[in-house]
Amino acid sequence: MMLKLGVPSKGRLMEKTFDWFGARGVGLKRTGSEREYAGAVEGVEGCELHLLSAGEIPAALAEGRIHLGVTGTDLVREKVASWEQRIEELEPLGFGHANLVIAVPAFWVDVDTLDDLDAAAAAFRAVHGHRLRIATKYHRLVREFLRQEGVADYALIDSQGATEGTVKNETAEAIADITSSGETMRANHLKVLADGTVHRSQATLFRARGADWSEEDRTRLNALKDRLGL
């Protein structure tokens, strides 16, 4: 049995992950073409590389199909219920930073905080007869955050495409989405609420609690952690 490490299969997250491991003496590389999802691990014995989409890795960890995985903290928290019971954070990797935030139209001059949003949502429902719509791909995280903050009279709607465009297209009144620089928000005439940061995400190395951890696997994990300086 090999220790299975899942990492993002393409883009900047894959490149940064390869660089992070490589700087610590563990080489990750593709072994096939760009269209193949085959890879190899060099510098540590008994470890095999699985190239998966970042969105697949949380479920693979939760189900124990891989022992270790690199993905965003936002994806783990959104996709896995009671994630702490099934997945352990081993190390934040220092890249892939992005914030999940709540944003409203910039012309809502009286709405700058969550308290303002709560009041606006109540007024919206009184006038229009239905709840204020917030478009997002992050239903679990946003619902829990708004519940904790006491915001009511809203409805989450699923965003399948560009979430920032839903307000302009009049399919939502507000949004909750991932942003790095905020430029796309501003380009779509949206503003982030002053206290509207739901989660600060970054790429992180996770361990699957429920994977098949043999004594040999645990020894390999300890060797890998030593090599990585964890």
Kindly report the pTM of this predicted structure.
0.91
Q: Mean pLDDT, to the nearest integer, of 210-224?
A: 93
**pLDDT at 80 exceeding the cut of 60:** yes
pLDDT tens figures, 13-60: 999 999 999 999 999 988 765 655 667 889 998 999 999 999 999 999
Exposure of 31 in the CB half-sphere (CA atoms within 13 A): 11
**Residue environment code for 128-159, b if the CB has 16+ CB neighbours within 10 A, otherwise e:** eeebbbbbbbbeebbeebbeebebebbebbeb
The percentage of residues in the chain with a pLDDT greater than 90, rounded to a whole number, is 86
